A and B are shown apart, each in its own frame.
Chain A
Amino acid sequence: MPSPQISPPLSPVLPSRTNEPQNTHSMITRAKAGVFKRRTFVAPTVSGLPKSTKDALLRPEWFSAMQEELTALHHNHTWVLTPLPPGVTPIGCKWIFKIKYNTDGSFQRNKARLVAKGFHQEPGLDYFETFSPVIKLVTIRLILTLALQRNWYVNQIDINNAFLYGDLEESVYMVQPPGFITGNSNTVCKLNKAIYDLKQAPRSWFHMLSTTLCSLGFSSNISDTSLFIHFKNDIILFVFIYVDDILITGNSTTIIQSLITDLSKHFGLKNIGRLHYFLGVKAHWTSDGGLHLSQTKYIHDLLHKANMGSSKPQPTPMLSTSCLTKDATTAFDDPSLYRSVVGSLQYLLITRT
Chain B
Amino acid sequence: MHNPQHHHWKAVKRILRYLAGTSTHDLQLCRSSHLSLNAFADADWGSDPDDRKSTSGLVVYFGSNPIAWLSKNQKVVSHSSTKAKYPNIATTLAELKWIQNLLIEIHLPPTTPTIRTDNLGAVLLASNPTMHSKTKHFELDLYFVRDALQQRQLHLLHVPATFQIADIFTKPLTATTFTVFSRKLMVLDKNNH
Contact = CB atoms under 8 A, between A and B. Distances in A.
Nearest to A314: B17
B185 interface: yes
B32 A149 contact: yes
A322 B17 contact: no
A331 B17 CA distance: 22
A329 B7 contact: yes
A306 interface: yes
Identify the 10 closest CB pairs spanning chains A and B, nearest first.
Answer: A313-B21, A294-B26, A318-B172, A351-B27, A141-B67, A317-B18, A290-B30, A314-B17, A315-B175, A320-B172
Interface in B163-179: 168-169, 171-175, 178-179
Nearest to A318: B172
Which of B11, B17, B182 has most A Cβ within 10 Å? B17
Task: Tell me whether chain B's interface is mostly helix, strand or loop, or mixed.
Answer: mixed
B26 A342 contact: no
Interface of B: 1, 3-9, 11-33, 35, 49-50, 60, 62-63, 65-69, 98-99, 101-103, 105-108, 168-169, 171-175, 178-179, 182, 185, 187, 190
Interface of A: 138-139, 141-146, 148-149, 151, 221-224, 227, 229, 231, 236, 238, 284, 288-296, 299-300, 302-303, 306, 308-309, 311-320, 322-332, 335, 338-339, 341-342, 345, 348-353
A348 to B, nearest CB: 7
Contact of B12 (A342, A349, A350): A342
A316 B67 contact: no
B33 to A, nearest CB: 8
B19 A303 contact: yes
Contacts, number: 211
Contact of A328 (B5, B50, B101, B173): B5
Contacts of A146: 35, 106, 108
B20 A142 contact: no
B101 A288 contact: no
A324 B101 CA distance: 38
A300 B23 contact: yes
A288 B99 contact: no
A44 B184 CA distance: 50
B179 A315 contact: yes
Contacts of A138: 60, 67-68, 99
Contacts of B24: 294, 296
Contacts of A151: 31
A209 B67 CA distance: 27
Which of A316, A320, A326, A328 has most B Cβ within 10 Å? A316
Contacts of B108: 146
12 contacts: A223-B98, A227-B102, A291-B29, A292-B29, A294-B25, A296-B23, A313-B18, A316-B174, A316-B178, A328-B5, A332-B8, A353-B185
B55 to A, nearest CB: 11
A343 to B, nearest CB: 9
A234 to B, nearest CB: 11
Contact of A335 (B4, B26, B60, B175): B4
Contact of B26 (A231, A309, A313, A351): A351
A321 to B, nearest CB: 8
Contacts of A222: 101, 105
A52 B9 CA distance: 38
B51 to A, nearest CB: 9
A145 B14 contact: no
B177 to A, nearest CB: 9
A303 B16 contact: yes
Contacts of A350: 27
Nearest to B12: A341
A91 to B, nearest CB: 32
Contact of A312 (B5, B17, B23): B17
A145 B63 contact: yes
Contacts of A332: 4-6, 8-9
